[in-house]
C-alpha cells in the first residue's frame, strides 16, 4: 500500500476508534450514545464534544473528539511526521452540572484545538489558561491536566496511543498557586481541604 494511502487510512480510523473506546469505558454497560456538539474554527477540522451523563453518580463527563486526529508536535518543524507523536483528548467531569455549563462545549473545543493552533503538546500537569470563564458565570478561567481513569487507546503501528487527560477547572488564584508551587502542591491543598474538584460551585482551598 502506498505510504500516503496508509497514512490517510490511519488518520481516518482514529476518531471512530476513539468514539468506540469512550462508549465502552465511559458509557459502560448501558452503551448509550453520548450527546454531541460540533465546534468548527476557521481553517481547522471540526472538534466534537461528547457529553456522557451518569444518573447514578450525578457526574457529567464532557470529552473532546478531534484533538487526537493528528499527532501533536512542533508546528515550526520543517517536516512533521503524520503518524508518530503523542495524541490526546480532554475530559472535563462535573457533578450536578445541569443547567449551569452554557458555553463549556466551545471552551473545551478551544482547548483541544491548541495543539493545532499554537503547537501546544498536552501533557500531565500542564496549565491551560484562557483568562476568561470556562463557561457562563463560572469562577474558573483555566484547567490543570492530569491522568484520567480512561485507559489509553492503542492505535496500529507506528501511531502512538491516544491519552485522555482530566481537565480540572482552576480559579485565577489556583492557577497562580500552581505556577508558584506546582501541580503537586495544589492537589495536596485540595486534598487537605476536602475539595471536590468535580463540583462546579466549589470554593477555593485555603492557601
Tell me how far CA of residue 34 lies from CA of 3, 47, 56, 109, in angstroms. Answer: 34, 15, 16, 16
Is the CB of residue 40 less than 8 Å from the CB of residue 46? yes
CA dihedral sign, ordered 189, 190, 194, 195: positive
With cell 483541544, the residue in question is 112
Question: Would you state the cell numbers that stand for residue 201, as one nine-digit string?
Answer: 460551585
Nearest to 101 by CA among 147, 38, 59, 41: 59
Checking if the pLDDT of 1 tops 70, the result is no
Strands 142-147 and 127-129: antiparallel
Is the CB of residue 175 less than 8 Å from the CB of residue 197? no
Is the CB of residue 34 less than 8 Å from the CB of residue 22? yes
Q: Tens of pLDDT along 90-123? A: 999 999 877 777 789 999 999 999 999 998 999 9
pTM of the model: 0.89
Q: Tens of pLDDT along 142-176? A: 999 999 999 999 998 888 999 999 999 999 999 99
Amino acid at each position: 500500500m502506498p505510504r500516503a494511502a496508509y497514512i490517510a487510512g490511519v488518520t481516518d480510523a482514529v476518531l471512530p476508534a476513539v468514539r468506540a473506546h469512550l462508549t465502552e469505558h465511559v458509557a459502560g454497560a448501558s452503551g448509550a450514545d453520548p450527546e454531541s456538539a460540533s465546534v468548527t474554527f476557521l481553517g481547522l477540522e471540526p472538534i466534537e464534544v461528547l457529553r456522557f451523563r451518569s444518573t447514578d453518580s450525578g457526574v457529567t463527563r464532557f470529552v473532546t473528539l478531534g484533538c487526537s486526529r493528528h499527532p501533536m508536535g512542533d508546528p515550526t518543524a520543517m517536516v512533521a511526521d503524520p503518524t508518530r507523536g503523542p495524541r490526546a483528548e480532554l475530559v472535563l467531569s462535573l457533578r450536578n452540572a445541569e443547567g449551569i455549563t452554557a458555553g463549556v462545549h466551545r471552551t473545551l473545543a478551544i482547548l483541544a484545538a491548541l495543539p493545532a493552533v499554537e503547537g501546544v503538546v498536552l501533557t500531565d500537569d500542564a496549565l491551560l489558561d484562557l483568562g476568561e470563564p470556562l463557561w457562563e458565570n463560572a469562577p474558573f478561567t483555566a484547567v490543570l491536566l492530569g491522568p484520567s481513569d480512561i485507559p489509553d487507546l492503542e492505535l496500529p503501528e507506528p501511531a502512538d496511543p491516544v491519552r485522555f487527560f482530566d481537565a480540572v477547572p482552576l480559579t485565577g488564584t489556583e492557577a497562580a498557586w500552581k505556577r508558584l508551587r506546582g501541580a503537586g502542591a495544589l492537589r495536596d491543598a485540595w486534598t487537605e481541604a476536602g475539595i471536590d474538584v468535580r463540583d462546579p460551585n466549589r470554593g477555593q482551598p485555603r492557601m
